[in-house]
Homo-oligomer: A and B are copies of this chain.
């Protein structure tokens, strides 16, 4: 159906090899014939066949992207920027979604391997040495994003620990006496990759300590964290702050607190993390931490392409963040 390199060769009275040299601007061809070939190619509206080229070169111009899902706002934004950056660089994107299931993640990666992707950008749910070795065995560039796996791979993200610490220090200036930290993923400690969540927790603990808060916070890791909170009393004088590791949890908690008729921040303080865009429709404005997740995407693409094409790896610095002081604390 399409016009091939042979057609052009025939029409120009040259060999396919020569056409290839012209088309790919390789040396060993006179300007004259090259110009002629390019012109004919143009006229015939020649489109190189990606499949054939991939087969011959062993490269597919495809980046595999492994994410949990697209439900979390941040992931969507991430994917948006990955798609744009990739296509702009002439790469295709193969998206696979793991649904936070470690087994499924492996299937997803296998799927990408079948496709012979040139590199992978992954928000990993697996972790540990075995997984790291598995990634190594793929022998293609891998860029980790949002969840660290090991120093063997570039990592794109913010310094979650510092960010949370800074946010918590801010909260601590508000006379809270009791602190509750909400982070259900911590229940999967040792089972799945919760690097980022661990960092945030650590940052919280450090932040409290540095602020001179002696009492340890209550850490809620229940999947049914709302249930746990519903059994807690917030009326009794001691002013409580609930710090959530993600905005989503904070929003759920907010709904719950409102349902109980508790006022935020007067009765209970509330903080999230991520500054997802729907926050603007919610009141009171949530105190949270913001960072440019779109930039994660473009950086990741740039980083993986560099490894694919140059074979070099430039260290990507931790990206900037900012504490957003809302009205909820």
Contact = CB atoms under 8 A, between A and B. Distances in A.
Interface of A: 1, 47-52, 54-55, 60, 69-71, 75-77, 79-80, 83-84, 87, 92-97, 108, 111, 113-116, 139, 251-252, 254-255, 258, 277-278, 280-283
A187 B92 CA distance: 33
A93 B95 contact: yes
A4 to B, nearest CB: 12
A113 B94 CA distance: 15
Contacts of A96: 83, 87
Contacts of A113: 47
Contact of A76 (B52, B70, B87, B278): B70
Contact of A95 (B83, B252, B282): B83
Nearest to A255: B281
A60 B115 CA distance: 10
Given A50-B114, A55-B52, A283-B258, A83 B97 contact: yes
Nearest to A54: B51
A51 B70 CA distance: 28
A288 to B, nearest CB: 14
A87 B258 CA distance: 41
B80 A70 contact: yes
20 contacts: A47-B113, A47-B114, A48-B114, A49-B116, A51-B116, A52-B55, A55-B55, A69-B80, A70-B70, A76-B76, A79-B95, A87-B111, A92-B94, A92-B111, A93-B95, A251-B281, A255-B280, A258-B283, A278-B278, A281-B282
B76 A71 contact: yes
Nearest to A48: B114
